[in-house]
Structure formats: C-alpha cells, structure tokens
Structure 1
Amino acid sequence: MNLRPLPFPVGALLASLLLAGCSLAPDYRRPEAAIPASYKEAPQPPAGAPWKLAQPADAVERGEWWRVFADATLDDLEQQALAANQDLKAAAARLGQARALEKTARAALFPQIGVGLGPTRQLPSPASQGLPANADTDPGTLWRGQASFAWEADLFGRLGDGARAAGFDAERNAALFRATLLTLQADVAQAYFLIRELDAAQALYADTIKLRAASLELFQRRFDAGDIGEMELARATAELASAQAEADGVARQRAVAEHALAILLGRPPADFALAPQPLTRLSVAIPGGLPSALLERRPDIAAAERAMAAANARIGAARAAYFPQLSLTGSYGYESARLGDLFNSASRTWALGPLVGTLLSLPIFDGGARAAGVDRANAAYDEEVARYRQTLLQAFKEVEDNLAHLRILDRQHAAQDRAVGAARRAAELSQIQHREGAIGYLAVIDADRSVLQQRRSAVSLDGERARATVNLIRALGGGW
C-alpha cells in the first residue's frame, strides 16, 4: 500500500499536536533542608492537655484557634477584624489578581477566535495593475466579513510551563493570603492581651492611689497636730504623686494600644472603645509538635515552596526559546466590492497559514539573549531555594523562641509569686512595727512601694505569657 505524504499544513498540525505538552523544565523536587528531629526548647506535653497534635496541610482551614482562650470579647474582636481589616482585603485582592493572571496564561494554550466586519478603502498603484507609470487608477472599497483564528502550538512546553508557573504563583498568593490572615488574627489577640495587661496595671495603681491618698490625709492631720515633721508629710505627698504619674503613664499606653486595635478591626479610633477588664493569668498548654510538621502547617513556608516551583517551571519556558515556534493563523468569511453582495456564495474567501510572519520560526543568532534568559531563570530558582531555606530557619527560630519564653516564664512566675508574697508579708510586719512605734512611717512606705513593684512585675509577666502563647500558635502555623 502506498502512503501519500500529508499536505504540509496538516502534517505541521499533527506534529504540533504530538509535541504539544512537552516540557523542558527540570524535574521539580523540594530541595533538602536541615530539619531537626525535635525542638530543643519543647517541654513534654502535660497529661490531659486540651490541644492535640494534627497533620494538616497548609491549605486546611485553621478554624477559630483563639477560642482556646475562652474569652467572648476576643472572639467578637476577631470576627470584626476578619470582616473589615483593610490589609486582609488587599491580600484577597492580590490573590484575585494572581488567579486572573493564571487564567490569562492558560488561555494562551487555546486558539484565539474572533469575528469582524468592515470596509477597506484602497488606491492601487499603476504598477500593481500592469499599467504605465502615468496611468490613472481608481480607488476601490472592499467589504469583509470573516471569522479568524490564531494558535501557537506549544511544541516544547513554553506556554505550558508559563501556565504552570502562573498556577504556582496563584498558589503562592493563596498561601500568602493565609499568612496575612494568621498574622491578623494573632495581632488582634496580641493587641487585646496588651490592653488587658494595662487594665490590670491600672487597677493596681488605682488601689495604690487610694491607699496613698488615705495615708496622706492621715499624715496631714498628724502634721497639723504637730505629731510629725514636714519631711514625713512631703514624703507621703511625693509617694501619692508618683503613683498618680505612673497611673497616667499606663493610661497613655492603653490609649495608644486601643487605637492600634481599632485599626486592626478596620475602624477609626474615634469610633472604638474597649471596656476595662484586667488580665488574668493564662493556663493554656500548647505542644510544639515536630519540626517537620512546620513544612505542612506554616503558610509562609508553603508560599516559599510554591515560589520555587514557579521558578523551576520558568526554567523550562526559557529553555524552549532554543527550539522552533509554530504559529497557525487562518480566516474564513466573505469579501466583496459592494456591501449588498457581501454574503453571496460567490464572495466566500478563506486563508490558512501565517497572515503575518512565518509558520515556523527559530532565531539563529540573538547575541546570547536566549542563553542569558536561561541563566536568569536558573539564578531566580537558586534565589527562591535560598529564600525557602531561610524561611525554614526563621520558622524554627520563632518556635524555639516562644517555647523558651513559655518554659522560662513558668519559673519566673513561680519566683515572682514568691516575691509578691514576701513583699506583702514585709508590708504587714512594717505596719505592725509602726503601730508599736518600733519603726517610722517611711519604712512602711518603702514596704508598700515594694509590694507595688512586685505586683506590677507579676502583671507584666502575665502579659508576656499571653503574648508568648499567641506567638507560639502563630509560629506553629495556627490552630489545631
């Protein structure tokens, strides 16, 4: 049986279909990174801990992890932030842009089809008509109504690799959106606990001011009666004024913190106020899990990994520039010198092949532009690998830092509680000795000041514990 060769356009089309989808990108594998077997700072999880280890992927919904703190006010603030925070909306818009770019890149894999209708007015030259140079020619109008198509066959995966890279970019932006979401949730919790810590400090200073005001009133009566000298009265006045100044400093810090929280909620500070509520000590136990789980849980690590995959795909697109590019174009429709005859059967016309340029193109000499493009793509991939490994190292550091904070804070709290108890006992004894006349009232003031300082330190530690707990949850990638 004799086989006739296929016509060139048909053969080129079949060859392009056979080669379409080939990719010159290197096989992508997640690069090796130094991952410890366990966290150095992680304590053994306590028995009956309310948290459990899980094995989610980075895209798994984290849920309302802040509910572990069992604070209805915090729950409400988190919902307000999710609904109105402007940075979160901007991140969602960036994700929408990335997904649209992915669709645009994938659209290049398909034929582009269009229709058109319109006239062309032209004056032919005498030479094109075979006439003498001084001959007159008449202008004519040619009406066209036709459908056209254009298609570049993805012979060596240039378009496919570009589409895959755009897809990885979209996944990277999705991971960055989840990172922004997690950061917002953690920032709201941090700001909330800071305000509650300052509320506890304000309550502490309010009690201190009442006691020192009562003491000053007593000293004033005794001074008026001539029982004490002016120095003791001045000392009591200074202690009251000092407590009032420190209370005003705390109030100033709280106002600033409240304004910052309002911005996180997407509200102007003038329209937001949070009722005072002193912070109580948190007792939430959070197991650190395994370092390898961070590769699945942390959205910023996932974003860095997707960036590597996109850079790897772009290496294939850069390599494809060394190979031929096949572009097919065509049209089918009608053309006529008169509009009334445009859609008659005798006016049909068609064209197949490149309307502009050539069917198959391959640069022979470009001064090293293609080689530079491949070098750039390889260097971009190496950059993303380094960023990925650095992101991993930073993630491990954040977890270790906050595990260490919580571990050492346990010891600090125990020591500080002992200090508060001892200071209170010393203040009680100084009161007794003062009533018995064994010591002066200045010693009582010193003992009271020590109680205030120790209680203020205890409140600060409570705030640090709350913030370290939130930071650890964020460092681990969100809730379980």
Structure 2
Amino acid sequence: MLAGLLAGLLAGCAASAPPAPPSTLQVSAAWRAPVGPVASAPAPERQWWQSFGDPALSALVTTALANNGDLRIVRARVSEYRARLGVVAAGQKASVSVDASPTRTRLLAYNGVPYVTNVYQAEFQASYEIDVWGRLAAQTDAAQASYQAERASADAAALSVAALAASGYLNLRGLDAQLELAQATLKLREQSRALAQRQFEVGYSSRLEWLQAQAEYEAAAEQIPPLRRAIFEQENALSLLAGDTPGSVARGAPLAELTPPEVPAGLPSELLRRRPDIARAEFNLVAANANLAATRDQLLPSFKLTAVGGAQSFRLTDFINAPTALWRLTALAVAPVYEGGRVEAQTDAAAAQRDQLAYAYENAVRGALAETENGLGAVQRLREQAVENDARRATAAETLRIAHNRYRNGYASYLEELDAQRTLYGADVGRLQLKTRLLQASVDLYRALGGGWAP
C-alpha cells in the first residue's frame, strides 16, 4: 500500500499536458454525386489499372512501380525508419558490454626505487532501466507509429505513380487518336482541294474556291506537327516515370477500344480505411500522442540496475588459472529537481504538435472526401457531355453529306461544304478529347478512392 501511494505521488510530478482539441469532423452517410448500386461494383482492386483491359497499360504501371526513382527514395526512407524503430526499441532491453584491459605500469616504491607491475583485468557490465512509468514504451510506440506513417507515405507515393502512369498512357493514346484523325482529315482536304482545282480548271468554279480549299488543306497539315511533338514529349515523360531513359512507349489497345471501368461503389466511411494519406495522418497523430506522453514523464524519476563482474590478477598465469573475482551491483534512481521549466515547455510544444497533426488529419479526411466527390461528379458529367457530343457529331456528319452533294451537283458554293467540314472536324476532335478525359477521370477517381493500396 505504501509503494502504491508513493507511486501515485511520484506520478503526480509529471508535467501536465493540455487536453486534445475537440474534433469538428463530420462524415456524411452517402456521396453527393450519383454512384451505382453497391452490389454492382466492388471496391477498387489493388491492381485497378488492369480493369482498363490494356496489357501495355498494365505493363507500364508495373514497370513504373518497380523502377520509379522517387519510389526508390521513399522505400529507402521506410528502411531508415524501420532501423530507427529498432534503435528506440533497444532502450527497453538490457545492454551488456565486455572490457578486457591488460596493463603494464612502471611506478616508484616508497624508497624511491622504480618497479614494474602487470595487471590483467577482464570485466563485463550489464545495465537495465526499469520502465516504471511507461516512458520508454511511449517512445517505442512513437517510433512504431512513425514507421507506419512512412509505410503509408510509400503507399501514397506508389498510388500516385500508378495514377500518373495510367493517366499519362491514356493521354498518349488520346494524342495518337488525334494524330490519326488529323492525318485522315488531311487526306480528305487533299481530295477536296483536287476537286476544287479541277472545277476551277474547267471553269465550273472561281479561283477563290480553289484557294479556299488550298488554305483549308494547309490548315489541316498545320495540325500534325504539334500533335507529333506532344506525343514525343509524352513518351519521354512516361519513360522517365518508369525509371528509364527517354524513349518510345509500347502501345496496346487503341483509344476507341478502351472503356472506362464501372464506378466503384462504397460509403464515405470506407474511404477512410483505404486512402494511404489518411492512414499517414492518423499514424502521425498517434506518434505525436506517444511523444507527448514520453515528454510529459521526463520529470518522473528513472530507475536503472547495473551489474558489473570481472576478474583480475597481477600475473597472466594466475589470471588464466585462478583469477580474483570482482563484482558490483548498483541500483540507481535519478530524478530531476529543478529544470527551469524546460520539461513543461517541451510538453507544451509536444501538445501543440499533437494539435497540429489532429487538425492535419481532419484536413486530410476533408480533402479526400472532396477529391472523391469531384471524381464522381467528373465521371458523371463527362458521360453526359459525351452523349451530347455524339448527337452533335451525327448532325455534323449529316450536314457535311448534304453540303458535299449540293456542292458536287452545283447547287451550293464550296463555302457550305467547308463550314460543314470544320464543324465535323471540331466534333471529332471534341469526341476524342472527351473520351480521353473520361478515361483519365476514371483514373483520378480510383486514386481518390484509395485503389491500389492494401491497408
């Protein structure tokens, strides 16, 4: 009973920590944006990029996850924090050291005559700190949480690299499709130019219409070089992302065959268990709480047991055969008496860091919810826009057919056909860009939902 009372009194000597701030985080029960039935779409798979059905895309993402330079740095940092955890955890274990010291000394006797003496000594020392107040355990918990936070950071970096690789590849296929469209349009403009030239040569049309057809051909030819440049730069960016030197990138399915996967279902609360950045913020908060506990207990006394044993002799033969045994056992208690308010200030600083990380955790959750809402909304609105674009393109194609027949039969000028060609080309370019944006929006949604990360 006396020991318990003494422990209670000593525990009251610990520095007082301010209470944690109240949480203002509120998570709704459903998404604002429309989402399919829960039973129709499972949660994102770990290798969600395979759902696009393109082997080249999957190979690129796999290579990027294995060879990306930034990921290598992050993984090396995880190894560093794993080693730091081992260093801190060693403080809860006993330490043992061995010391062997043969000594030869020349001294003066009481009568002034010098003499030489030999001392052979071997000693081992074992010490162990008794963690009465849990301070060492709190330090280990803090190191463990920091290590877990770094692992979550590595997962977040891997998720980002996978999303960048997938989005970049889809953008590349979109540029490829736009280049094919520009080249096909250039051939059509060439045919229109030849037709206008023939009609001008036979006197059926004016030189103005022929020059207009020539200008439209040159405008179509002008679209090809910037597309090739964009493809060249996108290939180099993807090569660097995959940890390779700039070069070409293997292609798989064309843009027309790529289909955005079904929107994964799930509740907002499930998102909190999937996103690695939220896990990182949570582990950082756990580490801050553990550091606060360890800092607060610095005013409490520490207890250490030290055992020293060894052997000593003045002759080597006696040291080997029959040395003199020596030993010492020490119990040490150390308690700070006056620190000038240092520990209290450190405790306040640790509490402030805990509050910062608590606010950062709430911000991470809100940001994740907003990213997911925006991703769901983007997929839905882009699909609606694609429907309108299909209708627009069908109207433009029919308009061009009628305008071409009227021009060929002499019922209209080339300007009508020229306007119809431009309208259809704009609708085709918009269609390809919408398809690319929809595919990339699906990638962004998977990243926002924490796909590809195994908690």
Task: Using structure 2 for the length normalisation, give the TM-score.
Answer: 0.89
The alpha-carbon distance between structure 1 residues 466 and 275, as it changes in their structure 2 partners (threshold 3 A), is closer
Q: 1:34 aligns with which of 14, 25, 43?
A: 25
Q: Quote the Cα distance in structure 1 between the aligned partners of 2:340 and 2:16.
A: 23
What CA distance in whole angstroms lies between the structure 2 residues aligned with 1:31 and 1:71?
48
RMSD between superposed Cα atoms in Å: 3.1
**Aligned partners of 2:38 and 2:266 also within 8 Å:** no
Q: Distance in 2 between matches of 1:258 and 1:473?
A: 23
- The one-letter code sitting in structure 2 at the alignment partner of 1:309 is V
Gaps of 5+ in 1: 1-10, 55-61
The question of 1:298 aligning with 2:275 is answered yes
Name the counterpart of 1:447. 420
Is residue 243 from structure 1 mapped to residue 220 from structure 2 by the alignment? yes
Q: 1:203 to 1:100 in 2, by over 3 A?
A: same
Tell me what 1:385 maps to. Answer: 358
C-alpha separation between the residues in 2 aligned to 1:347 and 1:328?
Answer: 24
Kindly indicate whether the alpha-carbon contact (under 8 Å) linking 1:288 and 1:476 is maintained by their aligned counterparts in 2.
no
* Distance (whole Å) between structure 2 residues aligned to residue 196 and residue 177 of structure 1: 29
Asked if residue 66 in structure 1 is aligned to residue 43 in structure 2, the reply is: no
Counterparts in 2 of 1:437 and 1:342: CA distance versus 1, 3 Å: same
**Corresponding residue of 1:334:** 311
Whether the 8 Å CA contact 2:236–2:248 is kept in 1: the answer is no
Aligned-partner SS, 1:152:
strand
Residues 2-401 of structure 1: pairs in structure 2 closer than 5 A: 32-45=23-36, 49=40, 51-53=41-43, 62-120=45-103, 140-270=117-247, 272-274=249-251, 277-280=254-257, 282-353=259-330, 359-401=332-374
Q: CA deviation at 1:296?
A: 0.9
Whole-Å separation in 2 of the counterparts to 1:342 and 1:465: 84
Q: Using the alignment, how far apart are the partners of 1:334 and 1:313 within structure 2? A: 43
SS in 1 for 2:320: coil
1:410 corresponds in structure 2 to 383
- C-alpha distance in 2 between matches for 1:204 and 1:184: 30
* 1:271–1:204 Cα change, 3 Å: closer
CA–CA separation in structure 2 for the residues paired with 1:110 and 1:298: 35
Secondary structure of 2:255's partner? coil
How far is 1:100 from its partner? 1.3
Counting matched residue pairs gives: 445
CA change 1:121–1:419 in 2 (3 A) is farther
Q: Distance in 2 between matches of 1:382 and 1:29?
A: 7
Measured against aligned partners, the alpha-carbon deviations of 1:21-54 in whole angstroms (never above 9, x if no partner) come to xx999899997452332444331415973x2259
Once the 2 structures are TM-superposed, how far is the Cα of residue 103 of structure 1 from its aligned partner? Answer: 1.3
Structure 2's unaligned 5+ residue stretches are none
The SS at the match of 1:343 is helix
State the TM-score, normalizing by the size of structure 1.
0.84
Give me the whole-angstrom Cα distance separating, in 2, the residues matched to 1:317 and 1:67.
46
Identity of aligned residues (%): 31
* 144 and 321 in structure 1: CA distance in 2 versus 1, 3 angstrom threshold: same
**1: distance between equivalents of 2:267 and 2:293?**
35
| In 1: Cα distance, 2:396 partner to 2:116 partner | 108
Q: Which structure 1 residue ranges, 4+ long, deviate > 4 Å from structure 2?
A: 23-31, 120-124, 135-141, 224-227
Counterpart residue number, 1:434: 407
Instruction: Indicate the residue corresponding to 1:470 in structure 2.
Output: 443
